[in-house]
A and B are shown apart, each in its own frame.
Chain A
Amino acid sequence: AQSVAQPEDQVNVAEGNPLTVKCTYSVSGNPYLFWYVQYPNRGLQFLLKYITGDNLVKGSYGFEAEFNKSQTSFHLKKPSALVSDSALYFCAVRDDTGFQKLVFGTGTRLLVSP
């Protein structure tokens, strides 16, 4: 069965510093990996995804994520954090076998201080 782990409930970073939000996954087949962001009282917004090809994926708002097959990880990164990046971030995975639902991690709250 598919699963996603986000080991950190919260990540704190100062504005201007680089940020990393961690995600590891487990699937039976080949993974399709996604990051979503949720601002307060809003739905989920798609940030980026990995399907195949380059391990470094670039997405919205300057975010990027690196797929590492050997470590089964898909960490979200940004070179320079903004206060406006403060939100709840979800990693999600589905594989290329069977039913296509997305399985989500429990989310990581990112707090960027001025």
Chain B
Amino acid sequence: GAGVSQSPSNKVTEKGKDVELRCDPISGHTALYWYRQSLGQGLEFLIYFQGNSAPDKSGLPSDRFSAERTGGSVSTLTIQRTQQEDSAVYLCASSSDTGGGNTIYFGEGSWLTVV
């Protein structure tokens, strides 16, 4: 597609439920990133996928968080047993490859509220 597409755009869930957030990167982009932006906070790196390489999961805050990328394209971020502190905007981004100067393009985000 023309840009990074994320769904749902908004999600309200009850504490303890599982949620899945989806990201469709820009066509042809091999690198995909997930970031989290909490209210009034900066951007927190979560996970990075590059082609067929093992993902870098160093930013995942707990084992309740997981992500996968199927077929080198669409990615799903799953949060199990959601907690109120998980409320945030989850931003997906993609870039054409791992060159340091390549621009990372962001989607509009999935706004998650845990009640």
**Which positions in A face B, CB cutoff 8 Å?**
30, 32, 34, 36, 41-46, 49, 51-52, 90, 94-96, 99-107
Query: Closest 3 interchain pairs by CB?
Result: A51-B101, A106-B42, A104-B43
* In contact, B42 and A105 (Cβ under 8 angstroms): yes
* In contact, A99 and B48 (Cβ under 8 angstroms): yes
A107 touching B42 in the complex, CB below 8 Å, given contacts A42-B108, A43-B91: yes
CB distance from A69 to the nearest CB of B (A): 16
* In contact, B42 and A104 (Cβ under 8 angstroms): yes
Q: Is B19 an interface residue (CB 8 A)?
A: no
CA distance A43 to B9 in the complex (A): 11
Q: Which residues of B are found within 8 Å of A94, using beta-carbon distances? A: 100
**In the complex, what residue of chain A is closest to B41 when comparing beta carbons?**
A106
* In contact, A34 and B42 (Cβ under 8 angstroms): no
Q: Which residues of B are found within 8 Å of A105, using beta-carbon distances? A: 42
Q: Which residues of B are found within 8 Å of A32, using beta-carbon distances? A: 100-101
* In contact, A49 and B33 (Cβ under 8 angstroms): no
